[in-house]
């Protein structure tokens, strides 16, 4: 059985899950950008998830090789690699019948860059992949990892709208890594188990748009305000920079990201399969701050058979968190507008 657990609650004890038995336990997952730093370990983790029975790996390079390698792991997922012009068929073949489409395709940061500096390259990569998904698997759940997530998710929404197949319940920006980091960092300070340290992170996925709600964590009282609080918030907001700096030009977070995306994918598959009370923070088309021009927002979302179920409001905020939200919303609005405007000019 999978060791993955929802990022927002401790795993409930459950009976060991035998290999897939019902339709609810069988899912076809496509990974676009499968040969990259995230793509490879993510594909391996998905191969190890008993809920995945068909794993399609697409990349502009190396995907058949990655699939041949991962395919030797003795778990049920039938794994196939697809290149743009390969004999197995290209992207369209990879997407046929896919229920989840996970997108880590695109370039990562180098030291000194912001996620927004990736926009010019990644916007068109994500747009083109989304166009084919809208055509081939319009009902698939699309999980966007490629940065800048704050802008690439609205671009996917625009692509699906233009194709007349947009379902806001089926589009997700993967922000699970922020929750994962917050849990790790706070548990280290509080001396608690990471699995029991649950810190919702709301807003978006870059610097000031990441708003950790430490006041809602049981261990939050370990750092309420002052210097220690500010240091922790900064570490959560800029955890990505920490990895970019440490990798020194060789890219950004890949392994922790692969883990986070595997957790989110597992949660979504369980919800699609009928499990209730599966809650994750994710960046979705959200009513919460639309009146302030912020059309996409990450908050706790109860996942459902259709994808997005209930979108939870952020809840009670501390005075510090109110200030973080004030910094988040205008920046997020700009990032969203940038994506929508770019797509309008580059459909
Ligand atoms: P990487 O360069 O190692 O891998 C990217 C892969 O995408 C490569 O294998 C490349 O061949 C492939 N690719 C490029 N264009 C493609 C296309 N048109 N179709 C299919 N595949 C294509 O990069 P990485 O470290 O895996 O990061 C990928 C993206 O994920 C970056 O944009 C990075 O910023 C982002 N990221 C997001 C989060 C998050 O929390 N959401 C975390 C880490 C990284
Ligand atoms: C992260 O948070 O690690 C990713 O968004 C990658 C990055 O550029 O920092």
Which ligand 2 atom lies nearest to the CA of residue 244?
9
38 known ligand binder: yes
Query: Rounded to two decimals, what is the model's pTM?
Result: 0.96
Could you tell me the CA-to-CA distances from 167 to 22, 142, 193 in Å, in that order?
26, 10, 38
What is the 3-class SS of 287-340, one letter each residue? CCCHHHCCCEEEEEEEEECCEEEEECCCCCCCHHHHHHHHHHHHHHHHHHHHHH
| Helix H or strand E encompassing 32 | strand 27-32
252 known ligand binder: no
Spacing, Cα 125 to ligand 1 middle (Å)? 10
Which ligand 2 atom lies nearest to the CA of residue 113?
8
ipTM above 0.95, yes or no: yes
> What is the DSSP code string of 200-249?
-EEE-SSGGGEEE-GGGSTTGGGG-SHHHHHHHHHHHHTHHHHHHHHHTT
Evaluate: CB of 235 within 6 angstroms of ligand 2.
no
- Cα gap 270→2, rounded to integer Å: 12
User: What is the bridge-based pairing of β-strands 78-82 and 171-173?
Assistant: unpaired
Could you tell me the CA-to-CA distances from 124 to 23, 130, 345 in Å, in that order?
35, 10, 12
Evaluate: CB of 101 within 6 angstroms of ligand 1.
no
Per-residue pLDDT of the chain (347 residues; tens, 9 = 90+): 456 677 786 444 343 344 445 777 899 999 999 999 999 999 999 999 999 999 999 999 999 999 999 999 999 999 999 999 878 779 999 999 999 999 999 999 999 999 999 999 999 999 999 999 999 999 999 999 999 999 999 999 999 999 999 999 999 999 999 999 999 999 999 999 999 999 999 999 999 999 999 999 999 989 988 999 999 999 999 999 999 999 999 999 999 999 999 999 999 999 999 999 999 999 999 999 999 999 999 999 999 999 999 999 999 999 999 999 999 999 999 999 999 999 999 99
Of the candidates 178, 150, 146, 151, which has an alpha carbon nearest to the alpha carbon of residue 300?
178
């Amino acid at each position: 059985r999978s060791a993955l657990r929802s990022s927002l609650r401790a795993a409930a004890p459950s009976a060991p899950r035998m290999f897939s038995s019902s339709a609810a336990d069988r899912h076809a997952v496509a990974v676009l950008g499968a040969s990259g730093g995230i793509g490879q370990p993510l594909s391996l983790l998905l191969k190890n998830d008993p809920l995945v029975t068909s794993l399609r790996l697409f990349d502009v390079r190396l995907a058949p090789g990655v699939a041949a390698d991962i395919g030797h792991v003795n778990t049920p997922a039938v794994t196939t690699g697809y290149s743009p012009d390969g004999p197995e068929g290209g992207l369209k073949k990879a997407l046929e019948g896919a229920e989840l489409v996970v997108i880590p395709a695109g370039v990562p940061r180098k030291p000194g860059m912001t996620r927004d500096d990736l926009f010019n390259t990644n916007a068109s990569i994500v747009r083109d992949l989304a166009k084919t998904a809208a055509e081939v698997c319009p009902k698939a759940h699309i999980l966007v990892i490629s940065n800048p997530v704050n802008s690439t998710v609205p671009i996917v929404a625009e692509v699906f709208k233009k194709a007349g197949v947009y379902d806001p319940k089926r589009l997700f920006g993967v922000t699970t890594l922020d929750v994962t980091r917050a849990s790790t960092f706070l548990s280290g300070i509080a001396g608690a188990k990471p699995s029991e340290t649950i810190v919702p992170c709301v807003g978006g996925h870059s610097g000031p748009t990441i708003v950790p709600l430490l006041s809602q964590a049981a261990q939050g009282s370990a750092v309420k305000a002052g210097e220690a609080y500010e240091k922790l918030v900064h570490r959560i907001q800029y955890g990505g920079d920490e990895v970019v700096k440490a990798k020194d030009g060789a890219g950004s977070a890949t392994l922790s990201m692969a883990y986070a995306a595997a957790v989110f994918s597992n949660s979504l598959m369980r919800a699609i399969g009928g499990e209730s009370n599966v809650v994750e923070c994710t960046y979705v088309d959200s009513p919460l701050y639309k009146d302030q021009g912020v059309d996409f927002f990450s908050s706790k979302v109860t996942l459902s058979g259709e994808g997005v179920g209930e979108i939870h409001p952020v809840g009670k905020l501390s005075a510090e968190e109110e200030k973080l939200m004030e910094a988040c919303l205008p920046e997020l609005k700009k990032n969203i507008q940038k994506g929508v405007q770019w797509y309008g000019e580059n459909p």
